[in-house]
Structure 1
């Protein structure tokens, strides 16, 4: 008796199991793709270092690469100069290579301080770094990977 020989019902059962396994793998891949984050133009959004979003309706991708520097005056000190922090972001139109830009923010500038935000124009868009957290505090070290940026994007009119 050959135990490796399969009858038609066993072959059908095996085919159904393989089909279910294949469909499960496809569904898992689809779920990973659906985790993309979308924001709308003229909307404020938050990115952690290493994250990205897709801006609708133009399908423009924006990502937070790194903190270049952070010399903002700590909140518990009095400084001669407020200091500045800079982050590097990438911006990419569909089918195009990424463009890297630096977004600055001065010390003591809060989210609501719209007059003091610096805007950078690129590819027909205007980006502003509205806030960078955490804000420095004397004798506190933060790894740059802990930072999150609050960014605003709009079309240049």
Structure 2
């Protein structure tokens, strides 16, 4: 009876520990994928991971307003490729602030596709629900 109770009690703890690993994305290179703020997404097919650290600047024109300037969003990410780490910044409009929309790191190209949610005057953006949409491509493929 004690063994049954012990197994019954420990089994959920063991299975939860296995699920605590970072999000593993079984996706092909070149396919856009989301990564939430403070979340790490691993590409299962490669030794590549991306962590969305923070949105540094959000000046995009709200979707429910007509603006004369589109604005831009600027984010900070941590990249890890084959054990090498780098903190980088990407922007949706590199001509405005000089921060690129794509960056090469190791043998991969990281491309900023979008940052969600898109700003609106009727809804406050919850920082915990932000996500960056990225595409990762192998250089030379």
Q: RMSD of the TM alignment (CA)?
A: 2.4
- Which residue number corresponds to residue 96 of structure 2? none
State the partner residue of 1:154: 137
Report the CA distance shift for 1:17/1:65 in structure 2 as closer, same or farther (over 3 A): same
Distance in 2 between the 1:25 and 1:143 partners?
A: 32
Residue in structure 2 matched with residue 114 of structure 1 by the alignment: none
User: Rg: which structure is higher?
Assistant: 1
CA separation of 1:21 and 1:105: change in aligned 2, threshold 3 A: same
Q: Does 1:72 align with 2:60?
A: yes
Aligned to 1:105: 92
- TM value normalised by structure 1: 0.70
Deviation at 1:150, TM superposition (A): 1.3
Q: Judge conservation of contact 2:61–2:119 (CA < 8 Å) in 1.
A: yes
Unaligned runs of 5+ in 2: 94-99
CA contact (8 A) 1:40 1:56 kept: no
Equivalences for residues 7-46 of structure 1 within 5 A? 13-33=1-21, 36-38=23-25, 39-46=27-34
Partner of 1:132: 115
Instruction: Summarize the Cα distance change of 1:147–1:27 in structure 2 as closer, same or farther, 3 Å threshold.
Output: closer
For the residues of structure 2 that align with 1:16 and 1:149, how far apart are their CA atoms? Answer: 46
Tell me how far apart the structure 2 counterparts of residues 14 and 140 of structure 1 sit (CA, whole Å).
54
Aligned length: 132
In the alignment, the residues of structure 2 paired with residue 89 and residue 152 of structure 1 have an alpha-carbon distance, to the nearest angstrom, of 13
Q: State the TM-score, normalizing by the size of structure 2.
A: 0.77
Could you list the runs of 5+ residues in structure 1 that have no partner in the other structure?
A: 1-12, 107-116
